[in-house]
């Protein structure tokens, strides 16, 4: 009797265990399989990604910048991602099975992969049963390889960044950040790269935060024009070096209009020439004349207190706005005038090359700054070669200056290239306009160039570049001019 009772209990326990196992199996087969599939440690997903043919990335003229090819000719062979153009490496980002994606590869990952997570079960079915690997869509970016190569050649031995934008479309034609890395050898080089001085993974063109220094003279000139201050007005002592704390800020060139009024008298200069030769003392005097509201208006209009975005790239923290709310001297407790320092680009306000390129494009575009973007078109997997689906053609712009102010800024920037600190940017048969200036970060100097060139009646190409650890104004202007010279042959 006891034996029968215990046997009955055992049978009941076994029945319950079997029922639980059956229910669990049914759940995981019907409802839980997708969850297991999506687990990041699922080796089948890794294998699926390894054999998928990721879509190609091409420039605006369909020249390959990134593509995938099988490592061998066997069925289900793993793919290798290739980046054939070293000049474009810093503009594209990377794709790695081990380290993920960044840049363009990250932004358009869904298109390049050819599926999203909801299709993974179908992908596995096709891959494992039909021996058919997933194929991604091709992506055409706005980059122009000719301009990109020209830019990269100039920055080969430099540290800094540059970005070239078409106005009014906002197409990013070239973008570079130095130092950079080779995405072809990313997996092997990763540990070394993360320890490399200068952080090659940091995209300086978009994420960089630099002292603008004399680059702030462009919005200050706009503020002067807005206030009715004449460009022919003379600034006493405006051509003399300016002492700003421990810094000595000289003109970027030798202004021909600087006059000495008597023995040991300060150098006088017109505001127009002060801009052409990037003379900080004249702009310090101008800042004292401008009321806080006017500077605030210009800061907001030029969007110096916001962060412009470029899809695919982290932009970092917003810059600090110039503190001008009451128009009085703001002392940081160390005897320094923060309002003046920020207005001269040597305070807490910092900018990125993307911000400055947008300003240059806005001036070139008669006061309307375009929104920068990189996507030009997408072609579905296995579609016909010419079956590109182009991105929306609506051109988003933001007014930063009136037509009158923009036209006067254009003339001033042209004058700085014809006879000014940006003279090295001049190119035969081209009307290049620009502004070259210095900035200081601690004990190190850096140089800025912003400018533009007319391509035709509808298009102007703008550039902003910064070179770290350099005080060579001529170098920055020369690079800017030669890149704009190459861009003048641009075909929209």
Tokens of residue 363, six digits: 């001036």
pLDDT category of residue 324 using cuts at 50, 70 and 90 = very low
Which residues lie closer than 8 Å to 25 by C-beta, 6 or more apart? none
pLDDT category of residue 122 using cuts at 50, 70 and 90 = low
Whether the bond between 179 and the residue before it is cis, its omega within 30 degrees of 0, is yes
- Please count the other Cβ atoms lying within 10 Å of the Cβ belonging to residue 347: 23
Kindly tell me if the per-residue pLDDT of 221 is higher than 80.
Answer: yes
What does the pLDDT read at residue 321?
A: 42
Kindly tell me if the per-residue pLDDT of 326 is higher than 80.
Answer: no
Q: One fold for both 52-138 and 147-487?
A: no
What does the pLDDT read at residue 442?
A: 77
What does the pLDDT read at residue 13?
A: 65
What DSSP line would sit under 97-153, residue for residue?
TTTEEEHHHHHTHHHHHT--GGGHHHHHHHHHHS----BPPEEEES--HHHHHHHHH
For the segment(s) 147-487, the CATH number from 2.30.30.90, 1.10.1660.10, 3.40.50.1100, 3.40.710.10 is 3.40.710.10
Q: Most confidently modeled of 23-32, 103-112, 120-129, 254-263?
A: 103-112
What does the pLDDT read at residue 318?
A: 46
Kindly tell me if the per-residue pLDDT of 32 is higher than 70.
Answer: no
What does the pLDDT read at residue 293?
A: 84
What DSSP line would sit under 234-284, residue for residue?
EEETTTS-EEETTEEE--SS--TT-EE-STTPPEEEEHHHHHHTT-HHHHH
96-100, 107-111, 137-141, 322-326: least confidently modelled range: 322-326
What does the pLDDT read at residue 19?
A: 66
Percent of the chain whose predicted confidence (pLDDT) is above 70: 78
Kindly tell me if the per-residue pLDDT of 320 is higher than 50.
Answer: no
Kindly tell me if the per-residue pLDDT of 315 is higher than 60.
Answer: yes
What does the pLDDT read at residue 22?
A: 66
The average confidence (pLDDT) of the chain is 83
**CB–CB of 396/170 below 8 Å?**
yes
243 forms bridges with which residues in the sheet? 248
Tokens of residue 109, six digits: 């990952």
**Helix, strand, coil % in the chain, rounded to nearest 5:** 40, 20, 40
473 forms bridges with which residues in the sheet? none
What does the pLDDT read at residue 395?
A: 72
What does the pLDDT read at residue 118?
A: 41
Nearest CA to 389 among 125, 38, 111, 156? 111
What DSSP line would sit under 319-340, residue for residue?
PPPP--SSSS--B-SSS-BHHH
| H/E run at residue 437 | strand 432-441
Calculate mean pLDDT across residues 330-340. Answer: 56
pLDDT in tens, 425-442: 999 999 999 999 999 987
429 or 254: which carries more pLDDT confidence? Answer: 429
DSSP assigned state of 309 = -
Dmax (CA) for the chain in angstroms is 128
pLDDT in tens, 439-490: 998 778 999 999 999 888 788 999 999 999 999 999 999 999 999 999 998 7
Tokens of residue 321, six digits: 């706005």
Calculate mean pLDDT across residues 239-245. Answer: 89
Distance CA(224)–CA(271), nearest Å, equals 9
Distance CA(424)–CA(435), nearest Å, equals 11
What does the pLDDT read at residue 335?
A: 41
Kindly tell me if the per-residue pLDDT of 351 is higher than 50.
Answer: yes
Calculate mean pLDDT across residues 372-388. Answer: 91
* Exposed e or buried b per residue across 270-281, where buried means at least 16 C-beta atoms within 10 angstroms of its C-beta: bbbbbbbbbbbb
Kindly tell me if the per-residue pLDDT of 24 is higher than 90.
Answer: no
318 or 89: which carries more pLDDT confidence? Answer: 89
What does the pLDDT read at residue 116?
A: 47
Percent of the chain whose predicted confidence (pLDDT) is above 90: 53
Q: Please state whether 323 falls in left (phi above 0), alpha (psi between -120 and 50) or beta.
A: beta
- Name the superfamily (CATH) of residues 52-138: Penicillin-binding protein 2a (Domain 2) (3.90.1310.10)
Q: Is 159 helix (H, G, I), strand (E, B) or coil?
A: coil
What does the pLDDT read at residue 397?
A: 85
pLDDT category of residue 257 using cuts at 50, 70 and 90 = low
What does the domain layout of the chain look like in residue ranges? Answer: 1-29, 52-138, 147-487
């Amino acid at each position: 009797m006891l034996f029968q009772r215990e046997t009955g209990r055992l049978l009941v326990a076994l029945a319950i265990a079997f029922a639980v196992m059956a229910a669990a199996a049914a759940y995981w087969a019907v409802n839980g399989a997708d969850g297991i599939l999506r687990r990041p440690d699922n080796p089948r997903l890794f294998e699926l990604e390894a054999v998928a043919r990721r879509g190609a990335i091409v420039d605006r003229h369909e020249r390959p910048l990134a593509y995938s090819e099988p490592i061998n000719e066997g069925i289900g062979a793993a793919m290798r991602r290739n980046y054939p153009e070293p000049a474009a490496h810093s503009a594209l980002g990377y794709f790695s099975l081990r380290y993920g994606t960044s840049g363009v590869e990250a932004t358009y990952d869904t298109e390049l992969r050819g599926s999203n997570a909801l299709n993974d079960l179908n992908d596995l079915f096709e891959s494992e049963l039909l021996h058919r690997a997933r194929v991604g869509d091709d992506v055409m970016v706005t980059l122009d390889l000719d301009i990109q190569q020209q830019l990269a050649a100039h920055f080969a031995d430099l540290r800094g960044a540059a970005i070239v934008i078409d106005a009014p479309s906002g197409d990013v034609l070239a973008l570079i950040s130095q130092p950079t890395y080779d995405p072809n050898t990313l997996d092997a080089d990763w540990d070394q790269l993360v320890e490399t001085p200068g952080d090659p993974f940091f995209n300086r063109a978009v994420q960089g935060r630099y002292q603008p220094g004399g680059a702030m003279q462009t919005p200050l000139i706009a503020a002067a024009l807005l206030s009715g201050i004449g460009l022919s007005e003379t600034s006493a002592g405006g051509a003399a070096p300016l002492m700003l704390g421990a810094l000595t800020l000289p003109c970027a060139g030798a202004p021909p209009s600087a006059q000495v009024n008597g023995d040991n008298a300060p150098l006088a200069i017109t505001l127009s020439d002060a801009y052409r030769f990037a003379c900080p003392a004249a702009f310090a005097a101008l800042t004292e004349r401008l009321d806080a509201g006017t500077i605030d208006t210009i800061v907001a209009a030029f969007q110096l207190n916001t962060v412009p975005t470029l899809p695919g790239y982290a932009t970092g923290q917003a810059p600090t706005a110039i503190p001008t709310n009451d128009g009085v001297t703001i002392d940081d407790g160390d005897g320094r005038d923060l309002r003046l320092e920020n207005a001269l680009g040597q305070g807490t306000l910092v900018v990125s090359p993307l911000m400055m390129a947008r300003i240059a494009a806005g001036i070139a575009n008669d006061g309307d700054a375009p929104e920068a973007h990189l996507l030009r078109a997408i072609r579905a997997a296995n579609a016909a070669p010419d079956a590109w689906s182009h991105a929306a053609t609506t051109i988003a712009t933001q007014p930063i200056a009136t037509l009158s102010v923009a036209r006067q800024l254009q003339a001033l920037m042209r004058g700085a290239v014809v006879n000014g600190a940006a003279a090295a940017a001049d190119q035969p048969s081209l009307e290049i306009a620009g502004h070259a200036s210095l900035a200081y970060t601690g004990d190190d100097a850096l140089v800025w160039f912003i400018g533009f060139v007319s391509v035709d009646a509808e298009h102007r190409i703008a550039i902003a570049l910064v070179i770290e650890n350099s005080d060579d104004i001529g170098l920055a202007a020369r690079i800017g001019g030669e890149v704009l010279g190459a861009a003048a042959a641009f075909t929209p």
